[in-house]
Structure 1
Amino acid sequence: MTGALRRTLLAQAEACAELGSPMYAELLTRAADDPGTAVADVLGDRTGPGFVLGMLGTVHRLVLEGRAPDLAAHYPTAGGTKDPLAAWPAFRDALAEHAPEVRAGLADPPQTNEVGRAAPLVGGLLTVAAATGLPVRLLELGASAGLNLRADHFRITYEGGAYGPVSGAERRRSGGNRPPVVPPEDAAPETGVVLADAWRGLPRVDARLVIVERRGCDLNPLDPASPEARRRLLSYVWPDQAARVARLRAAFAVAERVPATVVRAGAAEFLDGVAPREGVATVVWHSTMQAYLSPDESARVHARLEQAGAAATADAPFAHLSFEGPDASRLDAAHVLTLRLWPDGGPVILAEGPSHGLPTTWR
């Protein structure tokens, strides 16, 4: 194993520990110190953090498909009851047995479609709604399966209150009576997605948020109704993080009843011709995807955003909302929620939080 690969594995192990996955922290630490060749045979000279996540995700997918039963016994997502921290020998064996398939899986960028990032998204949309008084036309870059295009249908709790539709658990605790909800009763049906303790401080919860259009793009869009796509999305969630798994599975149910469109396109292609629209606030949103853009693609995206912003008016505002981190190699690096609202608005930092979005701390 090269020194570069070992350093990447240890850095990712540290990030997993920081973000609450002792299972993956242990697996990657053991991988970095393995005297054998199973990990090196799969990763080779591909030492970027995305490839490490791709390795973990592809192996997790084998587990979910029932093709690595010894390893599945350690994975809570597959019903395993053995100690997740003792999974290394079975993980190493699965890597060796399925090495060609795992290597092939590295060619596909990870798709987390992290539901927790709805916490900064909803707060940013509330800020836009408060500033404009208009319904929102939401466009997402790198949308994967489009789960966060339905973010207003998730329940967000914080100290002293909650925002969004009532959850089934809340209804049961209240004996069938509907608990208080912000916004009021007409906001949305009951939801199964709960982002608990998601906000430190508050965005503009007094604003009325109405989303009238939900569209996104992705180089490989996934259908949230497809069992295969669901397994793929679940495979990139860390298997010992039960709350993240539950949120993702609940978001699939929301997607079944809330329509959204995700087209196969790159970010710049998707934004080609995008312009403000009278009577709505057009919001382009993305999270933890900027690092995957080439310099040329990034420049083209920036140019299209500037062009659309220059055409904005008070009756047809345009916004760019992003939740991005400074360093793609560090999963545990703080991400910043930035809003630019045209006409006339410069970039404003609204909040910050970990890469998975929870908790989001508002400025």
Structure 2
Amino acid sequence: MREQVREQLLGQARACAELGSPMYAELLARAADDPGGIVAEVLGERTEIGFVLGMLGTVHRIVLEGRASDLAAHYPTAGGTKDPLDAWPAFRDVLVEHAAEVSAGLADPPQTNEVGRAAPLVGGLLTVVAATGLPVRLLEIGASAGLNLRADRFRILHERGGYGPSSSPHPPPVNGRAPLDSPDSPVVLPDAWRGALPPSVPLTVVERRGCDLAPLDPASPEARLRLLSYVWPDQTARVERLRAAFEVAARVPATVVRAGAAEFLDGLAPAPGAVTVVWHSSMQPYMSEDEAALVVRHVENAGAAATGDSPIAYLTFEARDGSRLESVQVVALRTWPDGNRRVLGEGPSHGLPITWF
């Protein structure tokens, strides 16, 4: 195995450990020292972290499809009861048996539609609405299945309250707390916010639209399986959140088109009577430098035309250095017509918990 591959695997192992997946941390550490070289054979020249995640996700899908019973015994997502930290021999066997399939699976980008990232999104939206008093037109790049385009319909909790929907179409929080005598959202993010609370204001989303290079339909069983396969198998709370978000998606329409980020934002313009919010999370490393610069240019061009009645906001949850290995990311907000930028908070890359500044 080439040293570059080994270092990539060890780096991702450390990141998985920091993000609470001892199972994947152990698998990747063992893979880095695999004398048989099957991981190097599967990855080939594709050593970037997205491909490592693709390898893990493809194996997880094979497990969830019931085609790897020995490995499934170690995967909590498949009902396994054996120690996940002892999964390496069975994991390696799956790589050997399905090497061509796993290698081919790396061609598709990872689909990590992480529901926990609704926590920084909703906190940011509440900050924007508190400043503008306007309903939100929400545009997301790298939206995958568009689950977080419905984030205002999730329940996001803080030790002193939180935000969440009631039976009304656009429910405001009450003193920062969702009404407890009304139907809960199936998505509940406990202990999602720490530090200062985001503003307590009514939040209304009037448009939900996003883009992705390979958008998924959250109503499709195949798409749901693909999304589940990219959740780390020893993090069962994330699996439960994802499945609950499928329920919300079935009730709340949103549009995700097949397009690149810069293409989607080309021609972006303010909308009178609403604040246009462009949002992305853990997306920056998947864009080339040229495309990332073009995304910013499109937003800034729209910002130049913004007014008090038609403001623009650019809300991101990304690593400070743009790295995929950075375990802590920051919630940053830039708004127009003033053009001001500020950092609102920070948290782990999966979004929970967010510490607000």
Which TM class, normalised by the smaller chain length?
over 0.9
In structure 2, distance between residues paired with 1:332 and 1:207: 32
Q: 1:184 to 1:73 in 2, by over 3 A?
A: closer
Question: 2:37: which partner in 1?
Answer: 37
In structure 1, what residue type is equivalent to 2:269?
Answer: A
| Letter in structure 2 aligned against 1:340 | R
Alignment of structure 1 residues 43-58 onto 2, 5 Å? 43-58=43-58
Q: Which residue of 1 aligns with 2:156?
A: 156
2:345 and 2:145 map into 1 onto residues whose CA distance is 25
2-structure distance, mates of 1:213, 1:43: 40
- Tell me the TM-score normalized by structure 2: 0.94
Other-structure match for 1:314: 308
Q: Distance in 1 between matches of 2:16 and 2:25?
A: 5
Q: CA deviation at 1:7?
A: 1.1
Write the distance in 2 (CA, Å) between the matches of 1:290 and 1:329: 8
Q: Which deviates more, 118-127 or 40-49?
A: 40-49
The one-letter code of the counterpart of 2:7 is: R
1:209 matched to 2:203: yes
Find out whether 1:239 has 2:233 as its counterpart.
yes
Q: Distance in 2 between matches of 1:322 and 1:187?
A: 33
> What secondary structure does 2:165 align onto?
coil
2:325 match: 331
Question: Are 2:348 and 1:354 equivalent residues in the alignment?
Answer: yes
How many pairs are equivalent? 352
Residues 51 and 349 of structure 1, relative CA distance in 2, 3 Å threshold? same
1:214-229 superposed matches below 5 A: 214-229=208-223
Residue 188 to residue 308, structure 1, CA distance change in 2 (3 Å): farther
SS at match of 1:112: coil
Q: Specify the SS of the correspondent of 1:246.
A: helix
Q: How does 1:133-282 map to 2 (within 5 A)?
A: 133-165=133-165, 182=176, 185=179, 190-282=184-276
Question: Conserved in 2, the CA contact under 8 Å of 1:124 and 1:203?
Answer: no
> 1:117-155, CA deviations, whole angstroms, 9 ceiling, x for partnerless residues?
100000000001000000000000000000000101111
2:72 maps to 1:78 = no
Query: Residue 87 of structure 1 aligns with which residue?
Result: 87
CA displacement, residues 293-313 of structure 1 (integer Å, 9 cap, x when unaligned): 112211221111111000000
Structure 2 counterparts to residues 119-138 of structure 1, below 5 A: 119-138=119-138
TM-score, normalisation: structure 1: 0.93
Say whether 1:299 aligns with 2:293: yes
Contact 1:15 1:330 (8 Å CA) reproduced? no
Aligned partners of 1:202 and 1:187: how far apart in 2?
25
Residues 187 and 317 (structure 1), Cα distance of their counterparts in 2 relative to 1, 3 Å cut = farther
Compared CA separation, residues 88 and 61, structure 1 to 2 (3 A): same
In 2, the alpha carbon distance for the partners of 1:10 and 1:24 equals 11
2:337 is aligned to 343
- Tell me which amino acid in the other structure corresponds to 2:77: T
Per-residue deviation, 1:80: 1.3
Matches within 5 A, 1:60-79: 60-79=60-79
Q: Is the 8 A contact 2:140 2:210 kept in 1?
A: yes
Q: Deviations over 1:230-262 (max 9, x none)?
A: 111111110000111111111011100011010
**Cα distance, 1:215–1:187 mapped onto 2, change above 3 Å:** farther
CA–CA separation in structure 1 for the residues paired with 2:181 and 2:46? 47
**Distance of 1:361 and 1:10 partners within structure 2:** 28
Q: CA deviation at 1:328?
A: 5.1
Task: Give, in angstroms, the shift of residue 33 of structure 1.
Answer: 1.3
Q: Within 2, Cα distance between the matches of 1:77 and 1:41?
A: 27
Q: In structure 1, how many angstroms separate the alpha carbons of the residues matched to 2:123 and 2:183?
A: 20
The one-letter code sitting in structure 1 at the alignment partner of 2:189 is L
Distance 1:100 1:328, change over 3 A: farther
What is aligned with 1:23?
23
In the TM superposition, residue 162 of structure 1 has moved relative to its aligned partner by 2.4
**How far has the Cα of 1:334 moved from its partner?**
1.6
Conserved 8 A contact 2:198-2:356: no
Contact 1:326 1:333 in 2 (8 A): no
Letter in 1 for 2:74: H
Task: Give per-residue Cα distances to partners, 1:193-252, cap 9 Å, x unaligned.
Answer: 111111112343321111011000001000001111011111111000011111111101
1:188 CA drift (Å): 8.6
Q: Which amino acid counterpart does residue 295 of structure 2 have in structure 1?
A: V
Unaligned runs of 5+ in 2: 168-172
Match of 2:170 in 1: none
Q: How far has the Cα of 1:107 moved from its partner?
A: 1.1
Partner amino acid, structure 2, of 1:240: D
1:19-58, Cα deviation, whole Å (9 max, x unpaired): 1111111111111111112111101222211111110001
Decide whether the 8 Å contact of 2:162 with 2:178 is kept in 1. Answer: no
